[in-house]
Amino acid sequence: MPQIDYIVKPGGQLSGEFRVPGDKSISHRSIMFGAIADGTTHVTGFLQGEDSLNTLRAFRAMGVEIDGPNNQGEVTIHGVGIDGLQAPAETIDLGNSGTSIRLMSGLLSGQSFDVVLSGDRSLSKRPMKRVTEPLALMGAKVDTDEGGCPPLRITGGAAIKGIDYAMPMASAQVKSCVLLAGMYAEGKTCVTEPATTRDHTERMLNAFGYPVGTTTGRMCIEGGGRLTACDIDVPADISSAAFFLVGASIAEKADITLQHVGINPTRTGIIDILKLMGASIELLNERVIGGEPVADIRVRSAALKGINVPENLVPLAIDEFPVLFVAAACAQGKTVITGAEELRVKESDRIQVMADGLQAIGVDAEATADGMIIQGGSIKGGRVHSRDDHRIAMAFTMAALRAESDIIIEDCENVNTSFPDFIGIANRAGIAVSVC
């Protein structure tokens, strides 16, 4: 793939109403659960980014007939039932998608066939022990490369047993992996999380008629059940909306409305943190669609102030921190982020990469073991490297709204994994970004 760099002109005034692409987390799960359900599942608003398309291709490779997606994000999945998946002819390549490989490792650990899950250069460096260790406790046979990284080699025919697992670190992907393995396990599987994480798996399994018992911080599932096909309407992804939530907050004279955004309470940390910083954010037309809360979000320019980010909000905004670091760089005073060590094992080490990039454009930013200390001030402009991380690239695009000169962002080709047509939407909203 040829290298793609962005050049972003300084300034810009965000305005208008628009919709960002569909939620990636929900898109992944709609394919996975629709594939193993009884009956035909219809999905609208499916995210046509590379990550979710890789999940779709993976289940086609395992014998599932899937129609679409068409231009409106409509997908039809002809489910094969809980035990109907077939052995793929070759290794399943999941590209850059950590969600795909971690959730599928659980779902596939109880199958009768062997399968190998691999990915691109970035995914091949991401730690998988956090899922392989609980799966091993359940009796699954999952091997990794040296260092605990992909590819994952899953041996079929294992006798999976339910466990009671206390997660050492809050992670929706680990929780989901164990729960999905629990569908194929003998007995009950329970997961206790140390802090609240996104609950799309629990919500969608319940929507497919597979009950997940939930009490505060604890989820349980019984093995041996079945899923029944249903319709899924995928809302706009709040992780993609986050770039414009910050962009409109820091730009001058901005006033935008983001349409049909998912506001699942396990995902709204970005809104809560920005409001603590003084952002002007309104939720309009709130409703529930397909079990997921949705709203239109109006955002206007605001004078942000530095804060100590509450640690209980960190897991609820873990994917949004790259752009939150940009908000902190534009705020008056000091912002301190702690308890975010999970950021070091994302598509890149997001703490170090963002600190390096912010320093390169003149921001006083200090990386710490589990977060960052940022002294708000001016952004000068310059050249930064995304380290092949889509969220880093889009975060620095927003930084240009307050920059004194151009910002050039290297290695932006992975933006398409989560946000197709990012440049088009950004330009229509008022940001002058182009490929150079």
Q: What is the CATH number of the domain that holds 155?
A: 3.65.10.10
Whether 94 maps to a domain, the answer reads yes
Whether 311 maps to a domain, the answer reads yes
Same domain, 131 and 180: yes
Q: What is the pLDDT at residue 436? A: 87
Taking the C-alpha atoms of residue 142 and residue 133, their distance in angstroms, rounded to an integer, is 9
Residue 161's pLDDT band (cuts 50, 70, 90): very high
Same domain, 208 and 72: yes
Whether 377 maps to a domain, the answer reads yes
Task: Name the average pLDDT for the chain.
Answer: 96
Domain boundary among 183, 215, 233: 233
pLDDT over threshold 90, residue 402: yes
pLDDT over threshold 90, residue 23: yes
Tell me what the mean pLDDT of segment 235-247 comes to: 97
pLDDT over threshold 80, residue 168: yes
Same domain, 60 and 190: yes
Same domain, 142 and 262: no
Same domain, 240 and 344: yes
pTM of the model: 0.90
Whether 181 maps to a domain, the answer reads yes
Whether 379 maps to a domain, the answer reads yes
Domain boundary among 166, 200, 233: 233
pLDDT over threshold 80, residue 1: no
- Across the strands, what pairs with 17? 257
Same domain, 73 and 218: yes
Domain count within the chain: 2
Same domain, 192 and 271: no
Same domain, 288 and 299: yes
Same domain, 38 and 17: no
Same domain, 14 and 54: no
Same domain, 336 and 373: yes
CB contact burial 79-108 (16+ within 10 A = b; e otherwise) = bbebeebeebeeebbbbbbbbbbbbbbbbb
Whether 1 maps to a domain, the answer reads no
Q: What is the pLDDT at residue 392? A: 97
Contact 413, 259 (CB under 8 A): no
Taking the C-alpha atoms of residue 198 and residue 41, their distance in angstroms, rounded to an integer, is 23
Same domain, 300 and 422: yes
Q: What is the pLDDT at residue 46? A: 97
CB count within 10 Å of CB 311 equals 14
Contact 73, 46 (CB under 8 A): yes
Whether 51 maps to a domain, the answer reads yes
Percent of the chain with pLDDT over 70: 100
Whether 84 maps to a domain, the answer reads yes
Cis peptide before 151 (omega within 30 of 0): yes
Domain boundary among 233, 260, 284: 233
Residues acting as catalytic residues: 319
pLDDT tens-digit series, residues 4-22: 999 999 998 899 999 999 9
The boundaries of the domain holding residue 303 are 6-21+235-435
Taking the C-alpha atoms of residue 362 and residue 377, their distance in angstroms, rounded to an integer, is 9
